Amino acid sequence: MTVRIGVDTGGTFTDVVLYDDESGTIHTTKTPSTPPDFDRGVLTGIEKILAETDTDPAAVEFLSHGTTVGTNAVLEGDIPPIGLLTNEGLQDVLEIGDQTRPKLYDLQQEKPPALVPRRRRLGVPGRIGHDGEVVDPLDEAAARAAIDDLVDAGAESIVVSMLFSYLNDDHERRVGDLIEERTDLEYALSSAVYPETREYDRTVTTVLNEAVKRNIADYLDRLGGGIEERGIDVPLNVMHSGGGIFSPGQATQFALRTVLSGPAAGAVAASSVSAELGYPNAIGLDMGGTSADVSIVENGELVRSTEGEINDLPIKTPLIDINTVGAGGGSIAWLDSAGGLRVGPRSAGADPGPICYGRGGTEPTVTDANLVLGRLTPEAFVTGDMDPVVDRTRERFTEAIADPLGVSVESAALDVLKVANAKMAREIRRVTVERGRDPTEFALLAFGGAGPMQAPAVAAQMDIDTVILPRNAGVLSARGLLLADVRADESRAFRGQRLDPDTMEEGFADLEAVQADRFAEMGFAAEEVALERAVDVRYVGQSYELTVPAAGTLDDEALDDAVAAFHDAHERLYGYAMPDESVEVVTLRVTGRVPTPPLADRPDRDAGEARRGEREVYFEATGYEPAAIWWRPALSPGASVDGPGIIEDRGNTALLPPDATATVADDGSVLVER
């Protein structure tokens, strides 16, 4: 017998999925996350699922992991002493930033603090021009002096980011050589981390990558050692933001690519489920304990991006387009200074967690609100030492929310859910309506421990008729880790308004050679790797671009097809196109992919009764009314049940409103229709 294991670490729980290749059975478990030492929770989860399934550690043939370590390092400002070497006169680029403003008309907004203090940002004479030619030679004596000054200032590593190094990296590489000659410090070149345009974004991305590299390296070293100690003799795969897996070495080198590790795995799983059920357009809503993540599957493909944001800072890395909002099951409800009800972004986390966990939590959360309304079975949604404290939950909810607002505890709990749902609906609106998509043409695929409970109300706000509740919804992101391909993304800036297929073909060939080296490091031969090309195109003079496919060998016909695809994409996204205007290609991209073997798992089936009684559940329109309690694993394919009801599963609970009907699909998913 051989098994595959996926482990997704969240802010509240660590989810583990074990797939038995021989029987096609999926086993799942949860264990509390253990911040700040998240590796302890991962190892505990692996031990737990091996014990629960009586599996020999030697039977593990594949292990993949989604981590939040890089994300937490950035969010918590855990930036080690870094030095920055750049062009003379450009040393304040981190302070000045660019013209982008999160709130265009807010005159009081504060910029995020500079990642590197002024005393460790130094400029060196020498300059590369916009055409990649040397304008002024590098002053090596000044570079040596600047390196010494950074060492004296306490820098533990150095970032080198110079103008137009994405076209000509000679100056950056020479400074790197000088750092090696004079110090034993690690260093990072922006031309290696992010060889694309925009010096502010490139500098921020390189600094952040260097900042989280040590955290990722230390974490993966500890985790790898713990896995070996437990008798598991397979490489550890790490999920990256682009929706693929790579090795720990590459995760360390490109540490910033792990910042959306867990949510990306969830998006991959959502894409797989929507395809299996025949829904080419789906909105993934991953609501965990701390946040809710929104992704889009359009025409059967995950929507991707080459830029993101964290802590109001731009990050330039290939990633699945995921929007995150602080609305999770553990998000804390509170009243602001004006008496307004707020939910999140602060979370009760894993310890102490919501009040109803009985672990010392005192602040009401979204999970507590659902318990107050009778929507959660106290004995079912907590395990182990998390003894439910229903009376204490109602008491604290009354004291903290209901009494100050002058409403009943049920009205207060319902208002908390409305605020959380509105935040998620707003995030869905941003990735649909504000980007030219009609949400009514999509199904809402809800997962995570809290997603199925809130999804019907969120769907109603967006006029979405179909809600998909996948089986194993509570651990779907961990399942996605077993579905993700081995994937690597490489890019290179391309400068010139003249679209020359021959020159571009040479650039693609260079990128494909880099890809061959990347996959060779992971033990894959070139013929095993599927390569996909793309180009970033914009109208001449534009400050933004769109990525479109560039299929096959790039000749005149293929280039014309790419330009036509750009015009179509521009019209779809912005409402207009200018096919008579000149365009330019600014970036070449190559994605390499090795498919992961599919999961041939079968839905888990229970032979017992599907209906497990009923209880009083509170609804806004009718107040308390009896709702049937259904056990999803006992519902056969094709079974249909009407609301109001509660559908319980291993690791999550779903709400079936009075005006909804749920049908069980062949794969065990539940389709809720309003």
The answer to whether residue 291 is domain-embedded is no
The answer to whether residue 443 is domain-embedded is no
**Which segment, 48-52, 309-313, 380-384, is predicted with the most confidence on average?**
48-52
Task: Check whether residue 84 and residue 201 sit in a common domain.
Answer: yes
**Residue at a domain's end among 553, 572, 594:** 594
Mean pLDDT for all residues in the chain = 91
Work out the pLDDT band at 497, boundaries 50, 70, 90: low
Question: Strand locations in 10-150, DSSP E?
Answer: 13-20, 25-32, 60-66, 82-87, 121-124, 127-128, 134-136
Predicted confidence (pLDDT) per residue in 356-376, tens digit: 887 788 999 999 999 999 999
Task: Check whether residue 53 and residue 94 sit in a common domain.
Answer: no
Predicted local distance difference test score (pLDDT) of residue 105? 80
Task: Check whether residue 57 and residue 91 sit in a common domain.
Answer: no
The answer to whether residue 408 is domain-embedded is no
Is pLDDT above 80 for 378? no
Task: Check whether residue 57 and residue 178 sit in a common domain.
Answer: no
Is pLDDT above 80 for 110? no
619: enclosing H helix or E strand: strand 611-619
The token pair at 562 is 């790419």
**Residue at a domain's end among 594, 621, 641:** 594
How far apart CA 72 and CA 161 sit, in angstroms, is: 25
How far apart CA 298 and CA 280 sit, in angstroms, is: 6
Work out the pLDDT band at 227, boundaries 50, 70, 90: very high
Task: Check whether residue 87 and residue 65 sit in a common domain.
Answer: no
Task: Check whether residue 69 and residue 82 sit in a common domain.
Answer: no
Closest CA to 413 of 395, 426, 427: 395
Predicted local distance difference test score (pLDDT) of residue 155? 95
| Backbone dihedral angles phi then psi of residue 303, each to the nearest 5 degrees | -75, 130
Predicted local distance difference test score (pLDDT) of residue 496? 65
Q: Which residue did the predictor score with more confidence, 158 or 215?
A: 158
Predicted local distance difference test score (pLDDT) of residue 387? 52
Q: What is the dihedral of CA 363, 366, 369, 373, to 10 degrees?
A: -160
Predicted confidence (pLDDT) per residue in 551-585, tens digit: 888 888 889 999 999 999 999 888 899 999 999 99
**CA distance from start to end of the chain:** 43
Question: Residue 25 has what DSSP assignment?
Answer: E
What percent of the chain shows pLDDT beyond 70? 98
* Element counts in the chain: helices (H) and strands (E): 18, 35
Closest CA to 627 of 289, 447, 370: 370
Domain of 30 in residue numbering reads as 3-74+215-258
The answer to whether residue 87 is domain-embedded is yes
How far apart CA 645 and CA 406 sit, in angstroms, is: 29
Predicted local distance difference test score (pLDDT) of residue 351? 74
Query: Which of 292-306, 379-393, 427-441 is least confident?
Result: 379-393
Is pLDDT above 80 for 380? no
Q: What is the dihedral of CA 179, 184, 187, 192, to 10 degrees?
A: 80
Task: Check whether residue 521 and residue 544 sit in a common domain.
Answer: yes
The token pair at 501 is 């297929």
Is pLDDT above 90 for 534? yes
Is pLDDT above 90 for 207? yes
> What predicted TM-score, i.e. pTM, was given to this entire model?
0.90
Closest CA to 328 of 207, 504, 451, 437: 451
Task: Check whether residue 106 and residue 139 sit in a common domain.
Answer: yes
Mean pLDDT of 13-34: 89
Task: Check whether residue 16 and residue 95 sit in a common domain.
Answer: no
* CA-angle at 463, arms to 458 and 466, nearest 5°: 75
Task: Check whether residue 126 and residue 40 sit in a common domain.
Answer: no
How far apart CA 262 and CA 68 sit, in angstroms, is: 7
Predicted local distance difference test score (pLDDT) of residue 629? 95
Predicted confidence (pLDDT) per residue in 624-654, tens digit: 999 999 999 999 999 999 999 999 988 889 9
180: enclosing H helix or E strand: helix 170-182
The answer to whether residue 426 is domain-embedded is no
Core vs surface per residue 113-124: b (16+ CB within 10 A) or e = ebbbbeebbbbb
Task: Check whether residue 183 and residue 128 sit in a common domain.
Answer: yes
Under 8 Å CB-to-CB from 28, ≥6 apart: which residues?
Answer: 15, 16, 17, 18, 49, 472, 474, 475, 478, 650, 651
Alpha carbons within 13 angstroms on the beta-carbon side of residue 643 total: 21
Work out the pLDDT band at 386, boundaries 50, 70, 90: very low
Q: In this structure, what CATH number is given to the domain that contains residue 119?
A: 3.40.50
Predicted confidence (pLDDT) per residue in 298-315, tens digit: 999 999 988 888 777 888
Mean pLDDT of 94-98: 86
Q: In this structure, what CATH number is given to the domain that contains residue 529?
A: 3.30.1490
3-class secondary structure per residue, 314-354? EECCCEECCEEECCCCCEEEEECCCCCEEEEEEECCCCCCC
H helices present in 484-545, as ranges: 501-521
Number of structural domains found in the chain: 3
Task: Check whether residue 112 and residue 183 sit in a common domain.
Answer: yes
